[in-house]
Structure 1
Amino acid sequence: MAELKRRVAVLISGRGSNLGALIEAARHPDYPAELALVLSNRADAAGLERAGAAGIPTAVVESRPFGKDRAAFEAAMQARLDEAGIGLIALAGFMRVLTEGFVSAWSGRMLNIHPSILPAFPGLDTHARALAAGVRLHGCTVHFVTPGVDEGPVIAQAAVPVLPEDDESALAARVLAQEHRIYPAALAWAASGAARLVDGRVVLNVPMAGGAFANPLPGHSGLPTEMVPSPPVPRAGS
C-alpha cells in the first residue's frame, strides 16, 4: 500500500515563483508532499492560474473586505484549509502578517522562505540592503514560522557570492535560483519528518553538506533520500 503523502497548502499573494518550483518537485512520485491547495488573499494573483494549469485546487479568501480584522480573515482562511485536509502550509510570497494565534496553531507545520541569510536582513528590500551593507555573501533561508517576522528556526539556507558588478536585479536573480532549490528540499524534509521543530529548534535527520556553501548540494532533487553526501575527509599525508 502506497504511503500517504502530507497534504500541503501553498499560500500566495502574487505570481508564486517558488510555487512553480514546488509544483515541479511534487511531480516526482517519491516526493513526500502533495500540493492539495493553493490559496491566495488576492483574486488576481497570477499563481492561481499556474496552480490551475497544474491541476491543483485553488481558493481565494480576499483579505481586503476584512479590513483590520485579521482574526476574522484567518478564520475564513482556516475554514478553507480544514476543508482541504491540510497538514502543512508553505508560504510563497504571501504578503500578510499572520496573528500569533494562527501561527501558534500551525507551529512546526508552517514554512516560509526569505531572501536573505537570516538573521541578516529580515523584512523587505533585502537585496538592496545587502548591496548597501557591502556583504560578500547573500542568499536565502527556509524556516518554520513563528510569531516574530522572519525569526523562525532555520531549516535550510543557501549562499551566493555578491559580485562587484551586481545591481539589485542581478543579485535577486542569483538568490532566486537558490530559493527554487532549497524550498522543495525543506518542504520534503518537513513532510517526511526529517525536519522537526523540537523545543524551539529544528532537528534535521538528513546528511549535512559539510564544507559547502549550500545545503542541499548542487544536483539534489529535493528529496530527503537523495541528499548528496558530504565529501570524504582526506587522510593525513594523502
Structure 2
Amino acid sequence: MLKDLHILQDLQKIDLVIDSFQNNKEEFPKLIEQFNQRLGEEKHKIEVKKQALLELEKKKKGLELDLSDKEEKIKKSEEKMMLVKSNEEYQAMKKEIEMARAQNSFLEEQILEVMLQLDEVKNALNIFEQEMSNSTKVIEAQKKKVEDDLSHLDELLMGKKGERETLLKDLSKESLSAYNRLRTKKALAVTETRNGKCVGCSMSLPPQFYNEIQKCDTLRFCPSCQRILIYTPTT
C-alpha cells in the first residue's frame, strides 16, 4: 500500500500539470479570436472609409453634372439674349442669367467642399490601410507564435499522459478508483498530513487516527474533506 500512496502522489502531480496544460490550451483559441477581432475592426474602419469615399465621389459627380447643365443653359440664354429686340425682355433675360450664375457659384463652392472632404477621406483611408498592413504583419506573427506554443504544449501534454499511463500500470484498481472518484469532485484528491493536521483542509486529526495513518497500510481519508491522506514525517 505504501507503493500505491507514493504512486498516487506522483499521479496527482502529473494530473495537476495536465490540468494546467489543458487550461492553457483553452486560452489559445480565445487569443486567436481576439487577434481576428482586431483585424476585423481594422477592416471595418477601412470599409467605412471606402463607402464614404464612394458617396462623396457620387455626390461630386452629381454636382458637376448639375453645374455643366446650368452652364450650358446660361450659354444658350446668352445666345438668345443677343437676339431679343425689346429692352424689357433683354433685362429679364439678363437677370435670369445672373441668378443662374449665382447658383453656379454656389454649386462650385459645394464641389470644392466635397473635394476637400474627398482629400480628408483619402488621407484617412491611406492611414487606415497602412495601419491595417502593419497590424496584419504583427498579428500574423503573434498567431504564428500562439500556434507554435500550442504545438509545443501538445507535445508536453502527450509526454505527461505517457508518464501517467506508466504510473497506472503499477497502481491497484481500488486505489485508482478512489482517486478518480475524488478527482471528479476536487482538484486535489490526495493530501499530506503534517503536525497532526490534514494539509488539505487544516483539520486537526484524532491522535489515534493520526497514528494509524503513519502505518501506510491502507487508504485512509480525511473525515472532513474526504481526501486521501498521506503521512509526512515532521522534519
Q: Which has the higher contact order (CA 8 A, sep 6+)?
A: 2
Tell me, yes or no, whether TM beats 0.5: no
Q: The TM-score by the shorter chain falls in which range?
A: under 0.3
Query: TM-score, with normalisation over the residues of structure 1?
Result: 0.20
Query: Which is strand-richer, 1 or 2?
Result: 1
TM-score normalized by structure 2?
A: 0.20
Larger radius of gyration: 2
